[in-house]
Amino acid sequence: MASNRRVTISTNVHGHTAGWAEVTTPPVPPDSRTAAFFDIDNTMMRGASIYWFARGLAARSYVTTGDLARFAWQQARFRLLATEHAGDMSRARQAALAFVEGWRVNDVERLAEEIFDELMAPRIWAGTRRLAQRHLDAGQRVWLVSAAPVEIGRVIAARLGLTGAIGTVAEIVDGAYTGRLVGDLMHGPAKAEAVTRLAAVEGLDLARCTAYSDSRNDLPMLVAVGRAVAINPDGALLRTARRRGWEVRDFRTGRRAARIAVPSTAALGLLAGAVSAGLALHRRRRTA
């Protein structure tokens, strides 16, 4: 934990500066019972982390710009139609399985680190980052909670100096992904369940914890803690926040209709399928 620093400037009787000394105060002791939970997409960063990851893969010829264009169209369509039905969830799950099958864990982590530095870091909301830092400065732990693969969340958390990340987990055998998920997609009620389990393991008092999100899909997580904050909220979450008296922070600029959309889980699954096809093609080219 970084210490708090205060600079003291001393002056003589004529008002001239005589010198300065840096006074270091003790670090804030850890608050072991309190934590903050941040959604990633459009809460901690502009846009969807999996989309920017795919953009980075496209720049490396793992997927095509056509794959990205198709995903962008599907993202807009699913947001407009608010389609998050069971069949969409099933397709998203299947696509997520295909996305990681056969890949080495260290390759995905290396790519995630490179792509974060290139494309994601400039899109971190400065306002949300400051909120996270306030919790850290208060001695609290800060976790990212996202439907994105946990490897991506872990990289973002490490780069931002946060405690860790909760995300969708893929099964790993001998350092490679099997194509099977451990549990389900980290979405909706699954986020609340994961936060509750983490609280039990870490000895957290959820009534003293805070959760941040932009989406109505995260309402289960938001109501599971003592303090909920809507960040760049969609319309449904904004209405709920106003009705419940939750704090609202909006770091977006420009017309609301032009704001970056958070892809639905189904749209994320479609992107994962496009990425999976690109990765398979890339592997065939490398082995040809």
Q: Which of 254, 100, 80, 272 is nearest to 182 (CA)?
A: 100
Please provide the distance, in angstroms rounded to a whole number, between the alpha carbons at the two ends of the chain: 51
- Let me know: does 67 contact 54? Beta carbons within 8 Å: yes
Q: Give start and end residues of each alpha helix (H) in the chain.
A: 49-59, 65-81, 86-100, 105-115, 126-137, 150-160, 189-202, 219-224, 235-244, 265-287
- 229/233 Cα distance (integer angstroms): 9
Q: Residue 44, CB half-sphere, CA atoms under 13 Å: how many? A: 26
| Partners of 109 in the β-ladder | none
Angstrom CA distances, 194 to 4, 53, 218, stand at: 33, 24, 12
Catalytic residues: 39, 41
